[in-house]
A and B are shown apart, each in its own frame.
Chain A
Amino acid sequence: MYVAVKGGEQAIENAHLLLASERRGDPAIPELSLAQISEQLTLAVDRVMTEGSIYDRELAALAIRQARGDLIEAIFLLRAFRATLPRFGASEPVDTGAMAIRRRISATFKDLPGGQILGPTFDYTHRLIEPDAADAAPQVPAVVDAVEEPMPRVTDLLAADNLIERSPARDFDAPVGDLTREPLSFPAERDVRLQNLARGDEGFLLALGYSTQRGFGRTHPFAGEIRLGEVEVEFVAEDAGFAVPLGRITVTECQMINQFAGSATEPPRFTRGYGLTFGHCERKAMAMALVDRSLRARELGEDVKAPAQDEEFVLSHSDNVQATGFVEHLKLPHYVDFQAELGLVRKLRSDFERGASPDALAEAAE
């Protein structure tokens, strides 16, 4: 436990001034504009929007600059900003089937309606650092005539043959769980788990997803489909009396297809894990889908043995703002606590020197 301390105002103010100056760096170098961050550090902005849980490119760019590029600090800034705005309500669920697609790949079907579209991807690059070419001409993307073709989700194709489980049906009477309104409780329903994972730390989910691949709660996943693009957001505005379009947002969706579940009465079918993020957060969407599936162990009658299957472990530790708060609070003054510990270790040492038994020492330390 830490206790309040007094004093230090001048030093704190000076530290913040120094921070502002370090943040700005060499004043001879032009300051980054928000448009530069938003346009050129796109994926950092996408991550901060997803984990900060506010879709607003300009705000995320502002937070990244203020945080000196520390993305977790930027996410923290977005979460704090959230508290200053009123909530108008909830949108209609976005329709990822109607997405204006910019990337769409499947690792399960080579030929699928609508085709495989690489889009803007790091895949198949050689990961060689290119020399600085600041004055090189901008790269112009190639164009070919686009054919209008429907792009059904891969899971819909499998569902047509009844080879994959259906998504849980919408119950219009059931409220949608919301972690920003009610604290997490267990067991957690899938809507709450997905909200938690969508806000969760990419690195944490990546490691957990990886752990399931290495055998800690194996789920035999295939990337059924990953799609990136723009979806329309609509909001039923009570004043207008109808669903008003709010504009388009970029999202990344991942459908994992996993090994079978069946029972005495149900034929074996593929099971599913789902990932959805703001912006282009492909690694995060894939990790989220892996962890969503592994957290369904209880529902699918699998043994819960691995960390990635333990919903209390996963959901309680996925939020990097909470995690950083608790880890970093250790650097706040703990002087009183520590004085008590210091007193205790001195007493133990004097007992030890007087030849007390190990058992008595252990008891005194408790």
Chain B
Amino acid sequence: MATPEFGPDTKNAALIEMRREAMRLLASADARALAQRVAALGDLPAHDNVRRPESGLVMVRGRIGGDGAPFNLGEASVSRAAVRLASGELGFGYALGRDTEKARLIALCDALIQSEAYRDAVADRVLSPVRAEREAQEKLSRERTAATRVEFFTLVRGED
């Protein structure tokens, strides 16, 4: 949505879109399952925290009328972290809630995605199962919701 302009560098833009998609999936993922999947990746490159994982607040904004000028709806708790691989890739992790370890794992995945040596492993063994789970959940929710779709009939009054 608000991705800044990076000029004609389409490769960079594609990478950012890939990272955003991974962040979108991981931010709503179950923290414990995520930790297990990252651990199952096996040996990871050396890395350290550039930003100590921390919790804070982000003011969530809505729009007047749903599509107008923004207003402040209320805050949400958010955790964030930043991780740098020994090879230099810098990853960022953000997620709703106060689970700082989850933010650190997302940052680690974001850094690994930027490393050609690990990108496919993260995509196949972390992102794919998370995406499959999320899609299954969303499908079930849509189907349950669809079962409550209602057709109202208007009764004509005072005729005949």
Residue ranges of A at the interface with B (Cβ–Cβ < 8 Å):
49-50, 53-56, 58-59, 82, 85-94, 96-97, 100-103, 110, 115-120, 141-147, 153, 155-156, 166-171, 174, 176-180, 190-192, 194-195, 198-199, 232-237, 239-249, 251, 253, 255, 272, 274, 276, 278
Q: A171, B58: Cβ atoms under 8 Å?
A: no
Do A167 and B63 form a contact, CB below 8 Å, given A54-B74, A235-B78? yes
What is the bound-complex CA distance between A101 and B27, given in angstroms? 20
Q: Is the CB of B72 within 8 A of A274?
A: no
Contacts A141-B147, A255-B65 given: A246-B75 contact, CB under 8 Å?
no
Which residues from chain B contact A92 at a C-beta distance below 8 Å? 1-2, 61
- Across the interface, name the chain B residue whose C-beta is closest to A273: B65
CB-based contact B72/A191 at 8 Å: yes
**Stretch of B35-43, B49-57, B118-126 with 4 or more beta carbons under 8 angstroms from chain A:** B49-57
**By the criterion CB–CB under 8 Å, are B77 and A90 in contact?**
no
- The closest CB in chain A to the CB of B17 belongs to A242
Known: A94-B62, A97-B66. A246 touches B98 (CB 8 A): no
In the complex formed, the residue of A with least CB distance to B2 is A243
Give the Cβ gap from A45 to chain B, nearest Cβ, in Å: 14
B7 → chain A closest CB, angstroms: 13
Q: Would A233 and B145 count as touching, CB distance under 8 A?
A: no
Asked if residues B58 and A88 are in contact (CB atoms below 8 Å), the reply is yes
Q: Indicate if the CB atoms of A156 and B145 lie closer than 8 Å.
A: no
Residues of A within 8 A of B95 (CB): 246-247
Shortest beta-carbon distance from B16 to chain A in Å: 5
A168 to B65, CA, bound (A): 8
Q: Pick from B3, B68, B72, B140 the residue with the most CB of A within 10 Å.
A: B72
Docked complex Cα distance between A274 and B4 (Å): 31
Q: Which of B39-91 touch A at CB < 8 Å?
A: 51, 54-78, 80, 82
Residues of B within 8 A of A176 (CB): 61, 69-72
When the two chains form their complex, are residues B97 and A58 in contact, meaning their CB atoms are under 8 A apart? yes
Within 8 Å by CB of B28, from A168, A170, A236, A247, lies A247
Q: Roughly how many angstroms separate A235 CA and B63 CA in the complex, as a whole number?
A: 15
B157 CB-CB contact with A under 8 Å: no
**Does B141 sit within 8 A of A, measured CB to CB?**
yes
Interface, chain B (partner A; CB < 8 A):
1-4, 16, 20, 23-24, 27-28, 51, 54-78, 80, 82, 92, 94-98, 138-152, 154
User: Contacts of A194 on B, CB cut-off 8 Å?
Assistant: 62, 64, 71
Which residue on chain B has the smallest CB distance to residue A233? B60
In the A-B complex, the 5 residue pairs with the smallest Cβ-Cβ separation, listed nearest first, are A167-B68, A167-B65, A55-B76, A146-B142, A143-B143
Other-chain residue from A91, A191, A233, A249 in contact with B64 (beta carbon distance below 8 A): A191
A85, A101, A178: the one within 8 Å of B56 (CB): A85
Check if A119 sits within 8 Å of B145, measured CB to CB. Answer: yes
Complex interface: chain B residues within 8 A of A239 (CB): 51, 82, 92
Task: Provide the bound-state CA to CA distance between A145 and B98, in Å.
Answer: 36
Q: Which residue of chain A lies nearest to B142 when distances are taken between CB atoms in the complex?
A: A146
Are A93 and B20 within 8 A (Cβ)? no
Contact assessment for B150 and A118 in the assembled complex, using a CB-CB cutoff below 8 Å: yes
Q: Which residues of B have CB within 8 Å of A146?
A: 139, 142-143, 145-146
- B96 CB contact (under 8 Å) in A101, A103, A178, A247: A247
Chain A residues, Cβ within 8 Å of B147: 141-144
Identify B76's interface contact among A96, A153, A233, A240, CB under 8 A: A233
Residue ID in chain A nearest B62 by CB atoms: A276
- B51 contact set on A, CB distance < 8 A: 239
